[in-house]
Amino acid sequence: MQIQADTQRCVGAGMCALTAPALFDQCDHDGTVVLLGAGVCGPEAADAARAAVAHCPSGALSLTD
């Protein structure tokens, strides 16, 4: 599973970093999403990634298998 983050759509709400801190961080500058690695390994990380996508208010995150 791979995560894609569209930083043009990201509004810096930080839900992804709160929901899945092992997968997402935020830019110190403007708060936009920073991927800590695009690949997701293991069922726990996959669940966290799905939750982060679901909670993102801007639709900036997506997953592909």
Residues that bind ligand SF4 (CB under 6 A): 5, 10-16, 26, 33, 56-58, 60-61
Q: How far is the CB of 47 from ligand SF4 (least distance, A)?
A: 16
Q: How far is the CB of 49 from ligand SF4 (least distance, A)?
A: 12
End-to-end CA distance of the chain: 4
DSSP 8-class letter at 26: E
Which tokens belong to 42?
């293991």
Q: Residue 60 CB: number of other CB atoms within 10 A?
A: 20
Q: How far is the CB of 10 from ligand SF4 (least distance, A)?
A: 3
Q: Which is nearer to ligand SF4, 39 or 57 (CB)?
A: 57
